[in-house]
Amino acid sequence: MSLYAALLFLTRFPQFLKKPITEKDLQRSVCFFPLIGAFIGVILYIIFFALKGLLEESFLCALILTAETVITGGIHLDGLADTSDGIFSGKERDKKLEIMKDSRIGAFGVIAIVLDFLLKFSGILSILKENPLLLIIVPVAGRWLISYGIVFFPYLREKGLGKAFNCGKDRIRFFISSFICVIICGIILKVKVFYFLTTLIFSGLIFSFYIMKELKGMTGDTYGALNEVGEIFSLLILMLLYK
């Protein structure tokens, strides 16, 4: 049920089992976040493989980005937008958190989403020319960093779905998540996997400490932002590795 819980949380696939998801299932599901990332990545790769001879690469990249947004329901993009609105508001910490809870998107949120799509579009276009299988790694990397944020940093809200995940701060869950991530990425990257993951976790660490500096903890929105930033960093690292 933990894998099923991860699938329901990280995607918009409909619930197909009658058994209810428990808080323990949510906590344990952190282990499987990279696996769900791989599932998303495989779908994106299949889309590329099926349409590569029919469409221009630039349009295909846009279609891949659209597909990922549909699969996830834009949940991580929403988190990125809310986090950007709060952090860049220039207000005090409590006011930043209040802004992040507002369902309305602000100027900084719009800017963040536009930049996110532009950077991802350029990155995907680049890696597809080197090795289309690299497309699978990008969602894996983003979900791995979410598990890192959940396990190692405090959660700020009294309520919220993110609270259920953060209640289980057992570090073995991150190590299981990391093991799965290493296996998936290692199959594609071979020896380069160590350079990739070391640089990625360092990048995620810098972003996480920035969040801690601004907010003193994590929220569900910052988990989404961590995923988006992780995907952008992973694309950048892959471009440098295959330059």
Q: What is the 3-state secondary structure (H, E, C) of 107-164?
A: HHHHHHHHHHHHHHHHHHHHHHHHCCCHHHHHHHHHHHHHHHHHHHCCECCCCCHHHH
9, 29 contact by CB (below 8 A): yes
DSSP state of 185: H
Q: Is 40 helix (H, G, I), strand (E, B) or coil?
A: helix
Residue 168 has pLDDT above 70, yes or no: no
Percentage of residues of the chain with pLDDT beyond 90: 64
Summarised one tens digit per residue, pLDDT across range 45-100 is 999 999 988 989 999 999 999 999 999 999 999 999 999 999 998 888 889 988 99
Rounded Cα gap, residues 89 and 131, in angstroms: 40
Tell me how many degrees the CA angle 50-77-143 measures, rounded to the nearest 5.
70
Rounded Cα gap, residues 98 and 237, in angstroms: 34
Q: Whole-model pTM?
A: 0.92
Alpha helices in the chain (DSSP H): 2-10, 23-29, 33-51, 57-72, 75-87, 93-101, 107-130, 134-152, 161-166, 171-189, 192-215, 220-241
Domain ranges, ordered by start, for the chain: 50-241
Average pLDDT over residues 138-167: 81
Rounded Cα gap, residues 74 and 117, in angstroms: 12
Q: What's the chain's average pLDDT?
A: 89
Instruction: Note the pLDDT of residue 162.
Output: 63
Percentage of residues of the chain with pLDDT beyond 70: 93
Tell me how many degrees the CA angle 213-115-81 measures, rounded to the nearest 5.
55
162, 178 contact by CB (below 8 A): no
